[in-house]
Amino acid sequence: MHEIIDVPGENVAAVSLSDTLTEDDFDAVYPFIKDQVERHNTVRLLFEMDGVDGWEPEEVWDDFVFDVRHAHDVDRVAVLTDDEPFEAWMKRLDLAFPSAHVEVYETSERDSAIAWLNGEDLEVDVPSPKGQKQ
């Protein structure tokens, strides 16, 4: 089952996933992500996962590789879950978004995951105006 969810951030797209993911879920999630990429220069994704126990049919989800034209348009992916991490899902994320940095957070760390997606963890040195001391 899937649900498109609203989270803070202009270029952050979020999806809640649970139970067994189906072809109908894929047919909704994939176009949603593609639309977000086409609307923004760079997209950051949040997947809230609760009890995802597999996907059917497997071949549909096996093909979850993002369009090559947009392969570098997703730069961060946060996975929010208390479930045991499972290798197959992480491999799919790596294949689907090859240049994205993927982080896994516990459900209680939702605010931290969203802050990371919004780049609030970045420290930027701002040079002082010429001739002024800081």
Total tally of structural domains belonging to the chain: 1
| 12 DSSP assignment | E
Residue 8 belongs to a domain: yes
3-class SS at 110? helix
Residue 98 belongs to a domain: yes
3-class SS at 80? strand
**What is the pLDDT tens value at each position of the chain, 134 positions in all?**
999 999 999 899 999 999 998 889 988 988 898 889 888 888 999 999 998 887 787 666 555 665 545 667 889 999 998 887 666 677 778 877 888 999 989 999 999 999 999 998 765 555 555 555 55
Residue 81 belongs to a domain: yes
Q: What confidence score (pLDDT) does residue 42 get?
A: 86
Residue 131 belongs to a domain: no
For the chain, where are the alpha helices, taking DSSP H only?
23-39, 58-62, 87-96, 110-117
